[in-house]
Amino acid sequence: MSKKIGIIGCGTIGKEICRALLSGQVNASLCGVADAMPESLRKATEDFSREFGVTIPVLSTEELIKAADLVVEATSKAAAPAIVEIALAHGRDIILLSAGALLEAYESLSARAAEAGCRIYVPSGALGGLDAVKGAMSGEVYSVTLTTTKPPKGLAGVPYLESKGIDVLALREATEVFAGTAREAVPLFPANINVAAALSMAGVGPDKTLVRIVADPACTRNTHEVRIEGSFGVFTSKCENLPAPFNPRTSTMASFSTIALLRRLTSSLQIGS
């Protein structure tokens, strides 16, 4: 019997994950959708009805969590903590796209999930190389640095940058607009830097993971470069991601990596660490 998947959040990423389930890309069924925004729900269900000829149950967050074997959170850093709490209370596994929501309490939440007999999964998102990061942690890791470069429009309107008087849309050359730790970066850039949260939790932690954010008017892709130095040697990776349609703040790969995780969780063959 295939797993029943519930999707919370019908924005750009959530809808793509729904389409993957409805089109048979994943060996699981879509048992329903939920969203705090009625207009997003209406448009999503209308689109699915037109594309696939099906009517998807629209449920409240708690109803959906009760109905699902596995919940996918595709909302926001602000909304995610309450969703995690409900999932743990009902003993449900959850895929958390808003990785930044875990950063302050991921160790205690992991312990609570273990007590509840369920799991919290964080996709790789728009980042490459997390397998190497986890492998490196078996030895000694000296440093982990993430450099994220985005087109200025992908960083426009960020309150932190505005408070610093940085008008990213006025920049004429590549400019570093932030340098600090992952713990500092994630709350300041909640819609832009979930990858820093995932990287830090997979590796040396949020206080030792260094983050640089660059706005580059010549850049057309959201680019994430990771460099790890440790007792194993040196590892580098670079992902140049196309922005998601209708949302320049995120990458198309964010939905693709979640679909890949769903495939892995519903497959009898596991490849990679």
Residues recognised as catalytic:
224
Would you tell me how many other CB atoms lie within 10 Å of the CB of residue 66? 14
According to DSSP, residue 221 is labeled S
Ordered alpha helix ranges (H), 90-155: 106-116, 130-136
Whole-angstrom Cα distance, residue 129 to residue 238? 9
Scanning the structure block, which residue is given the tokens 């409805």?
22
Residue 245: is it exposed, middle or buried by C-beta count within 10 angstroms (0-12/13-18/19+)? exposed
Whole-angstrom Cα distance, residue 250 to residue 197? 15
